[in-house]
Structure 1
Amino acid sequence: MSTRILPAVAHPDAARALTTLLGQLPDTEPAAPVADSTALVDTLARLAAESVAALPEVVLVHERIGPVPALELVREVTLRFPAVAVVLITSEPGPGLFAAAMDAGARGLIALPLSYEELAQRVQAAAAWSFGVRRHLGQGALELYGGPGGRVVTVSGAKGGVGTTLVAVQLALAAAASGRATALADLDLQAGDVASYLDVQFRRSFADLAAIQDISPGVLQDAVFQHDTGIGLLLAPAEGERGEEVNDRSVRQIVSALRTRYEIVVLDCGTQMNSANAAAVEMADTTLLLTTPDVVSVRAARRMVRLWDRLQIRKAEETVTVVNRHVRSAEIQPPLVERITGTRVAKTVVPAHFKELQAAVDAGRMQDLEAKSTVRQALWGLAAELGIVGAPEGEEAVRSGRGAKGARTGRGGLLRSDRGPVAARRGRPTS
């Protein structure tokens, strides 16, 4: 039986050297190397979506793969694709790194410079482990636990006061109402309001998971609050200063754990950039950037997009901008926002109907927002446009949004939506 190998190597010279040696191994099928962490995870997710049996038995991760650190990438791959054996290639194969790699889920280390004998030995051992796991679990278990994982959607605000938390909460409610297992995580770590919007008293938060090296399903379950709407909530710490305990490493681990358990993971990233929510935006399958139709907010959106691009977190064309508090009479309309930011602007816009929200906001129960509310209809229509709700509910949300009193379709209308999924790769105040 041939062993399928997928190398992840950034440097062209290192990739050529590794490919040459892999081509000499007997009974192997080496794939073309992928050049970064995003390409690796995307490739594995695509293969798993076709068939779990299509996944390679062995993944080789070079220590300088980037942009995600190698050990964090090893952890993410092993969490999302548990029957794939990951081997780390490193120039410093000491006891400390060996222990860290094992904790992350690696099946072995290969020292640089590469040697044929060691490469053959490590690949053979990793492949034997992978074949054994697949035989033991069987195809059904692999389909359940080894698939591409849930879809991660981040919601960020161009500036404070644009309605980021409201949008994140309603997207999660729409996904849960459509029957999908949904988690809502509050990454506005110092000023998160998700708990206030959903009338939740909580003790555990993101900070409680930050120091845990191996987040098991039981540990995750203890930290997630099961809301009566069916949403799993992972909240920001009640003490804002504890937000500093959450860094990019812990966010990658926590989000990876969430996506193995939930079909949809919505992350409220607030409006301030730090290493924690930057890691979330980089990991996301869909990134939303919320703005209001005014000069200050749109300029802030452009600054945020450029910041993400400079930091190599997210490209402009991979970002979906959502226009909140839209009015037909405003000078700034979605096409102009699209030109200024260089992003794709969602066809669904959220109308500026403040009075509809007041009672639900004051009660701290956004789940009680009336179904006939044009704001809710728009946001559930946005969920349908993004493809994060089931088809029947999504179509109903779009139809009800178009039929709402005062709603219009087309350019400048109060609600514009299609039902196609976003092709992207990869908050405090009210609307």
Structure 2
Amino acid sequence: MEKIKVMIIGNNDNRIYEIKSLLGNEEIAFVGFSKQGDSALEKTLSLKPQVVIIHCEEEVEDAVNLAEKLNIKMPGSGVIFLCDHLSVAIIDKAMFAGVRKVMSFPVDAKSLIQNIQLVNQVEKSRSENSSTAVANMESKVVTVFGAKGGIGKTTIAVNVGVVLAKMGKKVAILDANLQFGDVNVFFDIDSKDTISELSQGKDLTDIDAIKRLMALHYTGVSILCAPKSPEYAEYVSAKNVETIINTMRPYYDYIIIDTTPAFSDVNVVAIENSNLILLICEPDISTIRNTKVSLNILEYLQQRDKTEIVINRAGNGTISIKDIQKVLDVQIKHKIPLDIKIGIACHNKGVPIVVDSPRTAIAQELRKLGKEIVNTIDQIGK
């Protein structure tokens, strides 16, 4: 039988030794102790106990703050308070902080061990259910890529994000155009905090820190903006981007990544971590040629199977959809019509097309694309 790992935190050495002496049970493994303070959280995270016993004398507020941090950072680890002076106020504060059991000290060994076992069982069950929920919630990552600048990648990324949000999905957009990204402009958002500031810190694995730096648009889309100026792009590495994606995955239904027209390290990481790649193409010779080359590279990277071509600004030009299908040797399912007037007007206003002009043909096709993305990803996942 696996033993329950227990740690003790407190400022009174005598009390710590008294509590430790009560843990003489074949099901309990004492893994260490710590004084309260800044080092207590760090040591607890390193020891990874299943149950933490915090002894309180007068320093109740410090104990409550520590318990709250442990509840957030160590899911699956339960906290027990042992208090010299117990009151209703202390119990209320402890329970709000996520403490599983509050007991008066001194306490007998039998009662303490029974409560350790109970808390461990509750946390174990909660952790298992949480893991299942996280697995069910794990994001679908959609990278919007293209082999040429100015072909509407950002327009499509922004509007698809809004469409998915309107479908009830929890959506985040990551602007990976690190030098000249302007997703924030399409949403009329001032990018005070960006992926650059996030990458310069040590919080890439902390979802709360990431969310604090994201902008929330009224459509329900959360945006992690590109750096404010090109020189800040150097602070963001491909590894940073991959860590951010993996940290965000359990908390969003869809992560949309807008990219540059290049097979850079950052873009390759985005592509390789995607469930679906939207390869944007326009009906002109230059873009079609570059798209053909991109398809060959994606084949080499073993990412071709999850790539869908989107023809943007499709119209009645000299190059038809059939011509493009023949050149690229693919079936094209997604076509966004040409509407320069609406596109420019919405961009200048900072309002997504599907919000500002929902009845236009371009908005209807963008909504259709969003719905098809959901269906396509579901099919890929089968």
Counterpart among 298, 322, 341 of residue 355 in structure 1: 341
Read off the aligned partner of 1:320 and give its amino acid letter: E
> What per-residue deviation string (whole Å, max 9, x for no partner) do you get for residues 336-362 of structure 1?
4344334553x2311112122232122
Aligned pairs for 1:222-233 within 5 A:
222-233=212-223
Q: Please give the alpha-carbon distance, in whole angstroms, between the structure 2 residues aligned to 1:189 and 1:309.
A: 25
1:315 to 1:340, Cα distance in 2 relative to 1, 3 A: farther
Aligned pairs for 1:23-422 within 5 A:
135-147=124-136, 149-211=138-200, 212=202, 214-310=204-300, 312=301, 314-333=302-321, 335-345=322-332, 347-366=333-352, 368-387=355-374, 421=377
Q: Please give the alpha-carbon distance, in whole angstroms, between the structure 2 residues aligned to 1:298 and 1:132.
A: 59
1:222, CA displacement in angstroms? 1.2
RMSD: 2.6
Read off the aligned partner of 1:348 and give its amino acid letter: H
Unaligned 5+ segments in structure 1 are 2-81, 84-130, 388-418, 427-431
> What per-residue deviation string (whole Å, max 9, x for no partner) do you get for residues 183-225 of structure 1?
0111111111101111001221111222436521211111111
Task: Name the residue aligned to 2:59.
Answer: none
Match of 1:140, SS state, is helix
1:421 to 1:275, Cα distance in 2 relative to 1, 3 A: closer
Match of 2:313, SS state, is coil
Q: Please give the alpha-carbon distance, in whole angstroms, between the structure 2 residues aligned to 1:341 and 1:423.
A: 23
1:168, CA displacement in angstroms? 0.2
1:422 to 1:348, Cα distance in 2 relative to 1, 3 A: farther
Match of 1:293, SS state, is coil
TM-score by length of 1: 0.57
> What per-residue deviation string (whole Å, max 9, x for no partner) do you get for residues 112-139 of structure 1?
xxxxxxxxxxxxxxxxxxx989724254
Read off the aligned partner of 1:372 and give its amino acid letter: R
1:158 to 1:425, Cα distance in 2 relative to 1, 3 A: farther
Match of 1:288, SS state, is strand
Read off the aligned partner of 2:231 and give its amino acid letter: E
The answer (yes or no) to whether the contact 2:177–2:260 under 8 Å persists in 1 is yes
The answer (yes or no) to whether the contact 1:183–1:262 under 8 Å persists in 2 is yes
Q: Please give the alpha-carbon distance, in whole angstroms, between the structure 2 residues aligned to 1:309 and 1:420.
A: 19
Q: Please give the alpha-carbon distance, in whole angstroms, between the structure 2 residues aligned to 1:170 and 1:200.
A: 15
The answer (yes or no) to whether the contact 1:176–1:231 under 8 Å persists in 2 is yes
Q: Find the structure with the greater CA-based Rg.
A: 2
Aligned length in residues: 264
1:185 to 1:204, Cα distance in 2 relative to 1, 3 A: same
Match of 1:190, SS state, is coil
1:232, CA displacement in angstroms? 0.6
1:254 to 1:344, Cα distance in 2 relative to 1, 3 A: farther
Q: Please give the alpha-carbon distance, in whole angstroms, between the structure 2 residues aligned to 1:248 and 1:133.
A: 39
Which shows bigger deviation, 368-377 or 261-270?
368-377
> What per-residue deviation string (whole Å, max 9, x for no partner) do you get for residues 214-244 of structure 1?
5212111111111121111001001112112
TM-score by length of 2: 0.63
> What per-residue deviation string (whole Å, max 9, x for no partner) do you get for residues 305-356 of structure 1?
223333x2x43333111001112454231x44344334553x2311112122
1:133 to 1:354, Cα distance in 2 relative to 1, 3 A: farther
> What per-residue deviation string (whole Å, max 9, x for no partner) do you get for residues 65-123 of structure 1?
xxxxxxxxxxxxxxxxx99xxxxxxxxxxxxxxxxxxxxxxxxxxxxxxxxxxxxxxxx
List, as ranges, runs of 4+ consecutive aligned residues in structure 1 with deviation greater than 6 Å. 131-134
1:148 to 1:338, Cα distance in 2 relative to 1, 3 A: farther
The answer (yes or no) to whether the contact 2:337–2:361 under 8 Å persists in 1 is yes
1:143 to 1:240, Cα distance in 2 relative to 1, 3 A: same
Q: Please give the alpha-carbon distance, in whole angstroms, between the structure 2 residues aligned to 1:424 and 1:342.
A: 20
The answer (yes or no) to whether the contact 1:202–1:225 under 8 Å persists in 2 is yes
1:214 to 1:293, Cα distance in 2 relative to 1, 3 A: closer
Q: Please give the alpha-carbon distance, in whole angstroms, between the structure 1 residues aligned to 2:330 and 2:197.
A: 35
The answer (yes or no) to whether the contact 1:319–1:344 under 8 Å persists in 2 is no
Read off the aligned partner of 1:172 and give its amino acid letter: G
